Structure 1
């Protein structure tokens, strides 16, 4: 999927949907440097370009801020996103948490006009329409997650008709899932490559995987089982490496893990590398990727290396892990949860430089080492002999005492160039976890649930789930929820997870750093289950739009 062309036609596409006809005299000819109704929608390439303009609205590196609005991470800069206010509980009716219909308008405009081109192959046109319908469904799913009831617009809104009431969420959800089911029957399972069949376009698997996610978020468990089960037959597999890069082999984990033997160390290291490398540019488009935001080399960078790295190596520490996220990574040896030290004890050890401080980070889930930079953790791939050390109070440094390394591409960092790696939006591990959660809620534990969980855990080197200890629905539910947290950390799912599980009041609490001093004060009010409709939008609608409960 290429999007560079869409950048250049953006203004035209936004403009020509609203223009009215005019006299075709000499003085009113369309400008030669702009698009118009009179000159567009003539050729198959026009349709192709318009589809690209809708793809251009896909989310990208900004998905990390969804975790910043949850208990997983601290978003320290309020000018970068609304996550700082959302997590702190300082939301007001002036907060804009993403109320926008630009992407939906663009999709509707395409669907209203694509049939004007009569020279395009009909099967290709129908596929293009299916791609855009998927994208519109994705945009709507993001809106209802945040705001609940939203105006359901399926046609181009004309001037004078823009004040539209909010549609009940249940109706919007039905529209989304019906659309995804319909387009899953049109979209191919894969693309061969080359225009207009670029890899990275929306597939049947993406439609079904998103459908499963939407059903799960709505507690429609049997429907989530059905959709995820279909994805599990389409040939996706978890990404794995069978050898370490030479630079990675320099990381000494003997300080952190008590290896039983050489085979045990190999399992640990390959689990760590498989998990972290799936997000690197060298492995983009791998067998686990179901949908990603395509970035164009030298044109369309993501800023993950900048947002996530500490200031000591050129990053901004925009989003940093919380202690509670660190605590969620279990034991590499047993697969069971760990018991962390008290915050006061941790702080005392850290301040005194007591060797006991390091014990907390020993023999943990390999995904901890692949996701989080903690004191003295090694990372030769980013710099020779690099070990993380927290510099409290310095510019662009973490306020929690940790930084993220997941999603950072160290090979690109070493080149000191921008990161053009694709941003993964849906991957197969999420589908397996969706299946496990939904199936457990429908009928309780069975072999297929354990198999799905074990597939995810074993890829990272973790032990399988104890099927005797976790033989009950309630016990297994907690395993599944924690597995989602550690596997999908920083991928934008935690925001909805804590809301649909109704645990936000318990987990959205003030966070401290490793010295047990406050990093961010947080408060929770049940109105935060939904975001406010920006008051300016309510005002512009002349009262047609209503505000969510609790916001003045």
Structure 2
């Protein structure tokens, strides 16, 4: 396996504020040399460096797949792995702890309260930049909390013992705090980092601040502001990742069985679209031109476990999160660029049972992103193993309950290496999302124009698809449906669908029972509008002695 340069070294040196109390001058009462003292820390630049990296340690990574498992995109079959199974089934009570956790925010606040203690021993510009990075991260963490719970306590300082019980602030106040913070730090953070200690790629940048700001404003329906923030990112030089050629075992995959190519050029367009899309998530391409923010993983030390969570049992995985038929149905035709009429479930089941060749027709001539995302019966993947074709075995150990597995985010390189764990960085913000944010916000604000179509065309053409038909999607309403479909397939398994179905108010229509390819019930799902927000854990309300209030419906 090729070695790579590690960017941010994630450190847990600072466990929030769990440092030892002040040490005595008495020799016999010196703090242990393997622990950290409040009095001996914050004395040099390296202390601040370690502390800020300790905040980055709280960034989520491979867990984003479970957000999709709580939507119509995917099925999360193991309730002990995450809360996605309970949320998607509608079986949510106040015993659910979910994402109600302020440890990351406390870590941010502790850093910001103490970093200036090192002001005399380090460059002031660097110190201010570190503080801006942590303010960005705090905004990121608060955004995640408000997505799940709406109103939460807005805490911007380390709370002393005895003052932990604070009420929830209005969501509007928290959103204003987030947007103000992101706007402020965008003026401080650099557009990129040159490398070396303190300047590693992977740190928060100006682009990350604007991209997160655009996401926040999009979620809140602040269309003009979201489009403006996205446009700011679009002027920073990011571009969609593309490959110019296939190589290695990828060339062995036979897609002529699945796509009716018009010519050799047509086949090349398809194949390069597929390889470009799947390649941007691979370790060999991490830090590419599309990445705005990613959760850094240390090679051969800090695995992301996606190679375990996503493949099927016979591939060495657990099938923890698997595609639904509804997600499969969302991929348009490669030939026409238009939606595909799904097969009748009963007919699909009959064809599957009888091993009828017509069963496979459903997977023909689809968007290249389908083949890069979903493993279906007969799907080729020589990069995983020579001659591999996916075969679903219902009822076997660690197999999918839907008939499909995810291929996206799985890095096949490691299955042929001595170390099978996936150490690729997990992308949290990327340029394709920014283009989709711009397209949606601009369309909602002023309707279709050339810039909206251009943003969508960049995404579609990178994937090997045709440009948007301007004559067919000339109205705001029609283009809205296309933008939503593009957003779903482009960002599948990246944690965006959870909020999309809520802010678009389509959850009641899409959160339905899911079935496998045999038309057998895989999971019963019940939607209640209270699920637009998760419940504040009852244990937190009890600990707060009633100061915290509950969300409606719980």
Q: TM-score range by the shorter chain?
A: over 0.9
| 8 A contact 1:3–1:56 mirrored in 2 | no
TM-fit CA distance, 1:29:
2.8
- 1:340-382 C-alpha deviation (Å, 9 max, x unpaired): 1111111111111111111111111000000000010100000
SS at match of 2:169: coil
Larger deviation, residues 20-29 vs 508-517: 20-29
Query: Is the CA contact (8 Å cut-off) linking 2:10 and 2:56 kept in structure 1?
Result: no
Q: Quick one: distance in 1 between partners of 2:148 and 2:532? A: 8
SS of structure 2 residue aligned to 1:519: strand
Instruction: Indicate conservation of the 8 Å contact 2:89/2:524, yes or no.
Output: yes
The residue aligned with 1:140 is 142
The residue that corresponds to 1:202 in the other structure is: 204
Gap runs ≥5 in structure 2: 1-5
- The TM-score normalised by the length of structure 1 is 0.98
**In structure 1, what is the Cα distance between the partners aligned to 2:274 and 2:396?**
30
| Contact 1:2 1:52 (C-alpha < 8 Å) held by counterparts | no
Which residue in the other structure is 1:422 paired with? 425
Instruction: Tell me, yes or no, if the aligned pair for 2:7 and 2:201 is still in contact at 8 Å.
Output: no
* 8 Å CA contact retained: 1:3, 1:53: no
TM-score (norm 2): 0.97
Deviating 4+ runs (over 3 angstroms): 1-5, 19-28
- What is the SS of the residue equivalent to 1:424? strand
Root-mean-square deviation (Å):
1.1
Cα drift, residue 122 of structure 1? 0.3
1:416 Cα offset (Å): 4.4
- The equivalences for 1:289-328 within 5 A come to 289-328=291-330
Which position in structure 2 is the counterpart of 1:339? 341
For 2:492, the equivalent position in structure 1 comes to: 489
1:508 equivalent in structure 2: 511
Asked whether 1:107 is paired with 2:108, we answer yes
Give the Cα separation in 1 of the matches to 2:394 and 2:484.
Answer: 32
Q: CA deviation at 1:24?
A: 4.3
Tell me, in whole angstroms, the C-alpha distance in 2 between the residues paired with 1:23 and 1:373.
62
**Distance in 2 separating the partners of 1:58 and 1:450:** 33
**Alpha-carbon contact 2:352-2:518 (below 8 Å) kept:** yes
1:399 to 395, 398, 401: 401
Counterpart Cα distance in 2 of 1:402 and 1:21: 57
Name the structure 1 match of 2:73: 72
Give 1:246 shift: 2.6
Residue equivalent to 1:47: 48
SS in 1 for 2:241: coil
Measured after TM superposition, the shift of residue 23 of structure 1 is 5.4
Aligned twin of 2:3: none
Cα displacement (A) at 1:14: 3.2
Cα drift, residue 298 of structure 1: 2.0
Per the TM alignment, residue 415 of structure 1 is displaced from its structure 2 partner at its CA by: 1.0
Q: After TM superposition, give the deviation of residue 5 of structure 1 in Å.
A: 5.7
- Report the CA distance shift for 1:369/1:70 in structure 2 as closer, same or farther (over 3 A): same
Q: Is the 8 A contact 1:284 1:422 kept in 2?
A: yes
Residue by residue over 1:423-463, the C-alpha shift from the partner in whole angstroms, topping out at 9 and shown as x without a partner, is 00010000000000000000100010000001000000011
Distance (whole Å) between structure 2 residues aligned to residue 544 and residue 312 of structure 1? 50
- In 2, the alpha carbon distance for the partners of 1:383 and 1:318 equals 21
Question: Following TM superposition, by how much is the alpha carbon of 1:130 offset from its aligned partner in structure 2, in angstroms?
Answer: 0.4
Mapping of residues 110-509 of structure 1, within 5 Å? 110-117=111-118, 118-417=120-419, 418-509=421-512
Give how far 1:80 is off: 0.6
- Name the CA distance, whole Å, in 2 between partners of 1:466 and 1:236: 25
Tell me which of 529, 533, 536 is aligned to 1:533: 536
Matches of 2:244 and 2:261, distance apart in 1: 19
Q: Deviations over 1:90-136 (max 9, x none)?
A: 10000011100000000000000000012110000000000000000
Q: Give CA-to-partner distance per residue, 1:383-423, whole Å, 9 cap, x none.
A: 00000000001110000000000000011121141211100
Structure 2 Cα separation of the partners of residues 91 and 517 of structure 1: 24
Task: Number of aligned residue pairs: give it.
Answer: 547
Residue 89 of structure 1 corresponds to which residue in structure 2?
A: 90
Q: Which runs of 5+ in 1 are unaligned?
A: none
Seen in structure 2, the aligned counterparts of structure 1 residues 414 and 523 have a Cα distance that, compared at 3 Å, is same
> Against the structure 1 CA distance between its residues 416 and 75, is the aligned structure 2 distance closer, same or farther, given a 3 Å change threshold?
farther
Could you tell me how far 1:170 is from its partner in structure 2?
0.5
